[in-house]
A and B are shown apart, each in its own frame.
Chain A
Amino acid sequence: MTPFTTSHPRLVAALAVLTTAALVLAPFFVREANLRLMIEIFTVFTFAQSWNFLAGYVGLMSFGQQLFIGLGAYFVFFVSNTLGLSPFLLLPFSFVFCAGFAALAAPFVFRLRDAYFAISIWVIAEVVRLFISQRDWLGSVSGLPLVATRGMDRSFVATTNFYFAAALVLISVFGLYALSMSRLGLALSAVRDNEGTAAAVGINVWWTRFFGFVLGCGIAGMAGATYYMSVFHVEPGGAFDPNWMVVMMFIVIIGGVGTIEGPIIGTAIYFLLRGWLAGTGNLYLMLLGAAAVVVMLVAPKGIWGVVRTRFGIDLFGTRRRSPVAQKFHQGVR
């Protein structure tokens, strides 16, 4: 397999170092209110990137990614409140919890394909939402506060949250880059493009997909926990809101599915639009939906897809495509 797009590992490494440095220094120069906005942007970007990873790299489209946002948040809030532990200590375990949940669900939902798979995860999200809404020990419909952070210094909380959000951004950009360059990344793209040929060259299709699914869901969960920790309160209607899916899909579709750069552009556009259209309510959501429709019709590969073919720019260059695979795509149905 010859990669058609070339990547620049050194350039990416330099970029990674610069970004890390900038993110480490940011809290010393940025005001607390802006830090909060950045936490939101970073976590929403990570939600989108986790969905992009599943849809564009693993080939699994989910309509229920809000499940893991909510699960991650509830895990940290509930365990921290009950055991009196620091939520920051628990944050990494929200990844483990959500990944474990995904691993348990996978054997069942993997029996369904495409849209049916996508909706089955949505169904799980609904079951979990309805379950939590009825349990007083989980705060029922009014939700849970985060008790542990009440006594902490506000700017310490904001800074720590910021570092976690920054770590998520680094993972979902440079971690994804490293993963897609690895053997596993190659296996994932082979499975995504053609299950039959992937199996024929000795890739275990089920386990490859399973691993991708668990990883993507775990990251979404950790991002969900980080997001809700920065607002100190979680309730089922918001955490498991299907509108999270609208936001994620908008960001990824507009930017370009299956690219690392796409969701970065998508996130920027999303937050700009949200700023301009603040207070218009439904008009803003309608615009997001209409933009998704137009992009699917005019440029299904998104803005980054257009930029890449028009100008030949490809920083991360992680989409491998061989002519043989293309022939299979068009010839076999």
Chain B
Amino acid sequence: MIWLETIANGIFLGGLYALIGLGLGFAFGVMRVVNVAQGDFIVAAAFIGLYLAPWVPINPILVIVPVAVIAFLIGIALQRLLINRVLGHDQIPQILLTFGVAIVLRNAMVAGFGANSQSIDVGAMRFLGFNLLGIRLGVLPAVILVIALLLFAALHLWLHRSRLGRLIRATADDYQVVQLQGVSYRRVFAIAMGIAMALSAVAGVLLAMRGSFTPYSGADRLLIAFEVVVIGGLGSFWGMFFGGMLLGITQLVALKLDPASGLMYGHIVFFIILILSPNGLAGAFRRVVLRK
């Protein structure tokens, strides 16, 4: 029974991990840009959430809405002011640029907020639970999983049903040709980065409600995001979701067996998948199930 509970909690955590990966994976899918500062922006969003949460009406969890809006605007600014200036054949400048941004942001947060561990207070919800099939589960983790699922579905639908979604997909396929149709790929990139940042920010706030964070948490967040994207199979939408699940379950099971291990077994699972299937879960799915 304890294992069933652990796995259920792993799924809850995994949904959140998937959401952390979604922002990074989306930005990579559209722009081939890897924002190395994403982890530190996730932590920055948690700090914004920490200070806004007491002012949010109805339920503190709704703080994700203003934080997402702020993160969207920051994403647009980041792309327009910095990343768009170093786009080109070579990816190294973009990566180094965002690495520099990450260092500045991380140390600014240490200077501004101190290195102490913090958590966003969601009030009584944190201690509520419910029984399912004889196991006791937390309401907050379940709500967080539902939010993650909704965001995955919403992004998927929006990309495939809306006009702007169509332009984003077209830009992802060929950012040069899309200009011949009158589309400014720089503007599309800015919007895509805004969305990526908003998704990551929501994940960051939710993670800060479930657990705790420090200004140094960004590195761990980035590694999780990166592993989710690679396990999922670069750019595969639902592959990422299952990648997140796998990491979440692995981590909680490992913590039960070896409480001091931290993220180590998650990293090891990532390497095992990389060895078995270079294209991640989506690649394995295509090979085994679809026999391609």
Contacts and interface: CB of A to CB of B under 8 A. Distances in A.
Interface string B227-249: 10110001000000000000000
Given A246-B103, A290-B100, A111 B278 contact: yes
Contact of A289 (B100, B176, B275): B100
How many B residues are at the interface, by size bracket? 35 or more
Contact of B234 (A116, A253, A281, A283): A116
Contacts of A55: 92
Contacts, number: 116
Given A282-B111, A290-B104, A123 B92 contact: no
Main secondary structure of the interface of A (DSSP, over half): helix
Given A61-B92, A297-B97, A289 B278 contact: no
A112 interface: yes
A333 interface: yes
Nearest to A122: B223
Nearest to A242: B219
A269 interface: no
B99 A292 contact: yes
Interface in A84-124: 108, 111-112, 114-116, 118-120, 122-124
Interface string A274-309: 000000011101101111110011001000000000
Contacts of A285: 103, 106-107
A116 B230 CA distance: 8
Interface string B49-90: 000000000000000000000000000000000100110010
Contact of B96 (A134, A296, A329, A330): A296
A289 B223 contact: no
B226 A296 contact: no
Nearest to A285: B107
Contact of B230 (A63, A112, A282, A292): A112
A126 interface: yes
B285 interface: no
A114 B91 contact: yes
B184 interface: no
Nearest to B234: A116
Q: Which of A124, A130, A242, A296 gathers the greatest number of chain B CB atoms within 10 Å?
A: A296
Contact of B82 (A119, A133, A297, A333): A297
A53 to B, nearest CB: 14
Interface residues of A, number: 43
A249 B99 contact: yes
Contact of B260 (A108, A134, A286): A134
Contacts of B106: 285
A168 B230 CA distance: 36
B52 to A, nearest CB: 24
Interface string A120-141: 1011101100110110000000
A289 B107 contact: yes
A5 B155 CA distance: 50
B270 interface: yes
A55 B92 CA distance: 8
B97 A333 contact: no
A257 interface: yes
Interface string B162-200: 000000000000001000000000000000000000000
A242 B36 CA distance: 13
B223 A108 contact: no
Nearest to A328: B89
Given A112-B230, A115-B95, A289-B102, A120 B86 contact: no
Nearest to A284: B107
Interface in A220-264: 242, 246, 249, 253, 257
Q: Which 3 pairs show the lowest CB-CB distances between chains A and B?
A: A289-B103, A115-B34, A292-B100
Given A130-B267, A289-B101, A293-B82, 17 more contacts: A112-B274, A116-B34, A118-B95, A119-B36, A119-B223, A123-B267, A127-B271, A130-B264, A131-B264, A249-B99, A281-B111, A285-B107, A286-B103, A289-B99, A293-B100, A293-B101, A300-B86
10 contacts: A63-B99, A108-B274, A112-B230, A115-B91, A120-B274, A123-B226, A123-B270, A126-B267, A289-B107, A333-B89
Interface of A: 55, 61, 63, 108, 111-112, 114-116, 118-120, 122-124, 126-127, 130-131, 133-134, 242, 246, 249, 253, 257, 281-283, 285-286, 288-293, 296-297, 300, 329-330, 333
